[in-house]
Amino acid sequence: MVRNGNTAGTSSRDAWLGLILLALIVVAYSPALTGGYLWDDDAHVTRTALRSLDGLRAIWFNLHATQQYYPLLHSAFWLEARLWGDGVLGYHLVNILQHFLAASLLVVLCRKLEIKGAWIAGFLFALHPVQVESVAWISEQKNTLSLVFYLLAAITYVRFDQRRSARTYAAALLFFACALLTKTVTATLPATLLVLFWWKRGRIDWRRDVGPLLPWFAMAAAGGLLTAWVEHHIIGAAGAEFDLGAMERLLLAGRVVCFYFWKLIWPVDLIFNYPHWDVSAGAAWQYLFTGGLVALAALLWWLRSRSRAPLTSLLIFGGSLFPVLGFFNVYPFRYSYVADHFQYLASIAIIVPVAAMISGLSQRAPTEVGRRAVRLGVVTLVALLAVLTWQQSHMYRDAETLYRVTIDRNPDSWMAHNNLGRILSRGTRRMPEATQHFEAVLRLKPDHTRAHYSLAVDEYLTGRPLDAVPHFERVIELEPGNVMLTANSHLLVGKILVHVPGRLPDAVRHLQAAVRLRPGDAEARDALSAALLERTH
């Protein structure tokens, strides 16, 4: 009877804590709930042409159909698009719900592993401001949904480890497959499970621990290799921007791990686009990060007889970050080597032991006053994180705010300058400011084709056509294979030069190129006919 009463009391307490957590999440992220599309959201939300059963088939069987080949993620987007179209509120609410589910599942996993402070971990994870980028950005439903499947797979596999049921194993494997099909950063799960078993038992048994996970490792490797191929050959994570030597990649990895750890401990000045580091094997100070991590790992290995928990935390944190440490090229590296959403999953490895440590302090407190002080400290910490998350969420209320804040904190973000310039150029009255941002892009990245094109169009539309010509010509030089930009540039240069004394032959040459690239373009053909007629007079 007492046991049943305790169970009922625990369930009631869990229900109330869950409701409180959900309410806090909704309030903390509320400033971003009506936020519109950001950056590549329009490429992730299912476009109209794919909102059919044929479109759903393309999502699964055509690598080029979607922004990234994550078919389960894009199936979810497909369903959401069928339900509410392009309305942003629905996507934001789904992301918040998935984040809440992930935090709740983290509580369940901690209990399965008999880790103290399960609810503390859930609250800290859900309300930490580094998670804002993943929750407030529609594209990052890939993070929240994949973590739900990741944690379901982990919970189910831990149950299998205890009971050895074939049905439980199959369910765990299915959840893991769903996680991989949503985002392949979850490929690190089988390695994480092995580290957890080592932490629990002090050893790894080949038959008990490694054998059942071999199919998982095979699936993880296949998913990771496919994603790497797609990133390189389809998305475009290749070229001079990604040319790093082996030593430079090793140095980058150490610095990335340290960066993410620091942002978890001190979440100040979080930015959508962090500065792009100059990684150099010739800079002695850059060896400190990787060298320090190696030394720390060696120290924790030496101390493992006292406690395996610190080394476990480090191994899982670094291992979960492995896909984004720089050993593989991912497209966002052209903007920055780090981003808050890259550590959404990995942050658990630090948050959980911190929560366990706090819970341990409460249990070891010699007096009730001490225990109350610890509980008050937890409430204060959660409240502080919730306020910081609420403040950070304001950045994501619209794209213009996001890019302005980013530029304020990272003035060298050519990506933010370019995207803000494109937003401002939609209104005639704001074109002068847009021009300033495009000029800033070209100061920071002179070979940015889109900035050259946008600046040229702005100058053309604001009555400075001759100033636009060099930028159009630069577009033609930089991306001759981009038919749309190149054809438009040839057309506009031709239309400008036809009115410049002595430049008629150049105008004809550009207009002929425009027609050659787009034979069906009536405007280009008419402009060429007029120029040829002018040349005969």
Per-residue confidence in pLDDT tens, the chain, 537 aa: 334 446 666 788 999 999 999 999 999 999 999 888 988 898 899 999 999 999 999 999 999 999 889 999 999 999 999 999 999 999 999 999 999 999 999 999 999 999 999 999 999 999 999 999 999 999 999 999 999 999 999 999 999 999 999 999 999 999 999 999 999 999 999 999 999 999 999 999 999 999 999 999 999 999 999 999 998 888 888 888 888 999 999 999 999 999 999 999 999 999 999 999 999 999 999 999 999 999 999 999 999 999 999 999 999 999 999 999 999 999 999 999 999 999 999 999 999 999 999 999 888 878 888 888 989 999 999 999 999 999 999 999 999 999 999 999 999 999 999 999 999 988 767 888 998 999 999 999 999 999 999 999 888 888 888 999 999 999 999 988 888 889 999 999 989 998 888 888 888 899 999 899 888 888 888 888 888 887 666
* 383 plus 427 within the same structural domain: no
Q: Could you tell me which of 17, 106, 108, 23 has the C-alpha nearest to residue 351?
A: 106
pTM for the structure as a whole:
0.92
Domain end call among 339, 369, 396:
396
* 408 plus 373 within the same structural domain: no
- CA dist., res. 175 & res. 155, Å (int): 10
* 223 plus 259 within the same structural domain: yes
Domain end call among 348, 376, 396:
396
**Domain span holding position 268:** 2-45+86-396
Contact 504, 534 (CB under 8 A): yes
Q: Say how many domains are in the chain.
A: 2
* 508 plus 520 within the same structural domain: yes
* Helices assigned H by DSSP within 305-427: 309-321, 348-364, 368-393, 399-409, 414-424
* 420 plus 377 within the same structural domain: no
Residue 272 DSSP SS3: coil
How many helices (H) does the chain have, and how many strands (E)?
24, 0
* 501 plus 372 within the same structural domain: no
Contact 491, 524 (CB under 8 A): yes
Residue 437 DSSP SS3: helix
> What one-character-per-residue DSSP string does 443-481 give?
HH-TT-HHHHHHHHHHHHHTT-HHHHHHHHHHHHHH-TT
* 248 plus 123 within the same structural domain: yes
* 379 plus 433 within the same structural domain: no
Residue 337 DSSP SS3: coil
* 392 plus 521 within the same structural domain: no
Domain end call among 348, 370, 396:
396
